[in-house]
């Protein structure tokens, strides 16, 4: 069994460590030889169709939905096409406005999630072109979609998704760059700059995985709590939503992920002496605002841990109790690194509580009922 787990104690930890390889595999063959252009030879979607897209809807469940939140940001910022995100179980029932110019992207690790498959069919019934981002080539969703981008994360066994999520981020970055090339919304130099930063991600991630001790110690600390909060703005908010879900899934600690600026509109009432608050503060453009939100919770006695870049650690330590640094990449690509300490945090918190990390109670890897 340990052999299956490649020497790791759990599949989840093994899969966390497989992420650098999953990044490389998902990028391979999709960046041309010059290293300056994204190529997606598998797509049936023509440049003419791409130029005609008026709206994109991203539909998925659970962790895949959270990847979609980052995908929305990537597409909107690089291509300026409006993007909506929906959880699949809600999509069909809100009578979504879908036309032939709508591209619907469904995201599913397994390719078998019933809610997502139903959403795909709903979208197709309105004439939309459906692109699936999935990890399983022969899956129902891959078969039924009009186009497929396969993530090459390899089989994911642990119920809590890690490498599938981060590979979905890579797929979104590639697709958004491809759209930007075709629609001319970014210059070739801008595209090449982002690609170069993407190619550095695997090594940056490897360096992060070498030093899990500080996160492990913090996980042991929070494992004694029943409630905690995650805060962040922009892409950091998207990532803390995934971090909070991961922690709930396997540690059973109740947590809420809040847009840092929204906390003061109600949830601040729950902040009391000693409650852990995990602040993701990597997005430079909103950093100052996030810091003022950190001060709001600090003034109410919260025990704050911040995840940020090395150059902000010193200043943040004036308002937080602990700070962890992550390597620096472009703001848009930061989720591919910043989620990793949150994955490790959940893993070690679950371990500290004596839970079955790979098989959490009440949950299934793939949910084929609506
Ligand atoms: C289940 C799993 C989640 C997963 C979700 C969507 O609920 O427990 O980890 O994110 O399904 O799965 P999919 O295979 O569609 O990505």
Pocket test for ligand 1, best of 11, 115, 161, 369 (most atoms within 8 A of CB): 161
Percent of the chain with pLDDT over 90: 98
Q: Is the CB of 255 under 6 A from ligand 1?
A: no
pLDDT digits (tens, 9 = 90+) for 106-126: 999 999 999 999 999 999 999
Q: Check: CB of residue 184 under 8 Å from CB of residue 198.
A: no
- When the pLDDT of each residue in the chain is averaged and rounded to a whole number, the result is 97
Query: How far, in Å, from the CA of 60 to the mean position of ligand 1?
Result: 9
- Pick the closest to residue 348 from 357, 360, 359 (CA basis): 357
pLDDT value at position 4? 86
Return the number of other C-beta atoms located less than 10 Å from residue 46's C-beta. Answer: 10
Query: How far, in Å, from the CA of 98 to the mean position of ligand 1?
Result: 25
> Which atom of ligand 1 is closest in space to residue 364's alpha carbon?
8
Residue the block writes with tokens 């899956």? 139
Instruction: State yes or no: pLDDT of 1 exceeds 70.
Output: no
Give the C-alpha separation, 146 to 263, whole Å: 41
Instruction: State yes or no: pLDDT of 226 exceeds 70.
Output: yes
Residue the block writes with tokens 């291509």? 79
Q: Is the dihedral of CA 61, 63, 65, 71 positive or negative?
A: negative
pLDDT digits (tens, 9 = 90+) for 52-103: 999 999 999 999 999 999 999 999 999 999 999 999 999 999 999 999 999 9
Query: How far, in Å, from the CA of 178 to the mean position of ligand 1?
Result: 27
pLDDT digits (tens, 9 = 90+) for 303-334: 999 999 999 999 999 999 999 999 999 999 99
Give the C-alpha separation, 192 to 186, whole Å: 10
pLDDT value at position 36? 95
Query: How far, in Å, from the CA of 358 to the mean position of ligand 1?
Result: 14
Q: Compute and round to an integer the Cα radius of gyration of the chain.
A: 20
pLDDT digits (tens, 9 = 90+) for 165-214: 999 999 999 999 999 999 999 999 999 999 999 999 999 999 999 999 99
pLDDT value at position 364? 93
- Greatest CA separation found in the chain? 58
Instruction: Catalogue the active-site residues.
Output: 365
> Which atom of ligand 1 is closest in space to residue 65's alpha carbon?
10
Q: What is the mean pLDDT of residues 145-150?
A: 98
- Pick the closest to residue 126 from 68, 45, 57 (CA basis): 57
pLDDT digits (tens, 9 = 90+) for 258-286: 999 999 999 999 999 999 999 999 999 99
Protein residue with least CA distance to atom 8, ligand 1:
365
Protein residue with least CA distance to atom 15, ligand 1:
108
Return the number of other C-beta atoms located less than 10 Å from residue 143's C-beta. Answer: 12
Q: Which two tokens stand for residue 205?
A: 């991630």
Q: Is the CB of 251 under 6 A from ligand 1?
A: no
pLDDT value at position 2? 62
Instruction: State yes or no: pLDDT of 3 exceeds 70.
Output: no
Give burial (CB, 10 Å; 0-12/13-18/19+) of 264.
middle
- Bridge-partner residues for 226, per DSSP? none
Q: Is the CB of 136 under 6 A from ligand 1?
A: no
Q: Is the CB of 168 under 6 A from ligand 1?
A: no
Categorize the per-residue pLDDT at 18 as very low, low, confident or very high, splitting at 50, 70 and 90.
very high
Q: Could you tell me the pTM of the whole model? A: 0.97
Q: How far is CA 221 from CA 12, 168, 217, 226, 337, in A?
A: 21, 31, 6, 11, 23
Give the C-alpha separation, 50 to 119, whole Å: 21
Q: Helix, strand, or coil here: 315?
A: helix
Categorize the per-residue pLDDT at 293 as very low, low, confident or very high, splitting at 50, 70 and 90.
very high
Give the C-alpha separation, 336 to 370, whole Å: 30
Q: Check: CB of residue 120 under 8 Å from CB of residue 145.
A: yes
Query: How far, in Å, from the CA of 181 to the mean position of ligand 1?
Result: 31
């Amino acid at each position: 069994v340990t052999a299956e787990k490649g020497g790791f104690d759990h599949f989840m930890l093994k899969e966390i460590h497989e992420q650098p390889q999953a990044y490389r595999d998902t990028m391979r063959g999709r960046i041309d030889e010059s290293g300056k252009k994204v190529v997606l030879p598998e797509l049936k979607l023509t440049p003419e169709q791409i130029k005609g897209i008026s709206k994109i809807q991203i539909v998925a469940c659970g962790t895949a939905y959270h990847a979609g939140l980052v995908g929305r940001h990537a597409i909107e910022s690089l291509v300026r096409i409006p993007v909506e995100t929906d959880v699949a179980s809600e999509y069909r029932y809100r009578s979504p406005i879908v036309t032939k110019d709508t591209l619907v992207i469904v995201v599913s690790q397994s390719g078998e999630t019933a809610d997502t498959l139903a959403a795909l069919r709903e979208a197709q019934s309105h004439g939309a072109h459906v692109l699936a981002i999935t990890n399983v080539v022969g899956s129902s969703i891959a078969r039924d979609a009009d186009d497929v981008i396969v993530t090459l994360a390899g089989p994911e066994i642990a119920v809590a998704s890690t490498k599938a999520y981060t590979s979905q981020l890579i797929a979104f970055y590639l697709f958004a760059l491809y759209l930007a090339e075709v629609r001319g919304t970014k210059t070739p130099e801008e595209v090449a700059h982002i690609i170069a930063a993407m190619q550095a991600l695997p090594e940056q991630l490897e360096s992060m995985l070498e030093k899990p001790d500080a996160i492990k110690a913090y996980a042991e600390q929070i494992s004694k709590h029943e409630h905690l909060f995650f805060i962040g703005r922009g892409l950091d908010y998207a990532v803390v939503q995934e971090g909070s879900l991961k922690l709930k899934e396997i540690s059973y600690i109740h947590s809420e992920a809040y847009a840092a600026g929204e906390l003061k509109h109600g949830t601040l009432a729950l902040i009391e002496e000693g409650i852990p608050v995990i602040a993701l503060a990597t997005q430079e453009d909103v950093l100052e605002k996030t810091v003022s939100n950190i001060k709001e919770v600090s003034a109410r006695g919260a025990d704050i841990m911040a995840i940020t870049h090395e150059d902000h650690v010193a200043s943040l330590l004036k308002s937080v109790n602990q700070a962890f640094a992550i390597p620096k990449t472009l703001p848009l690509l930061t989720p591919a690194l910043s989620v990793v300490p949150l994955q490790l945090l959940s893993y070690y918190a679950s371990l500290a509580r004596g839970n079955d990390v790979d098989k959490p109670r009440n949950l299934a890897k793939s949910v084929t009922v609506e």
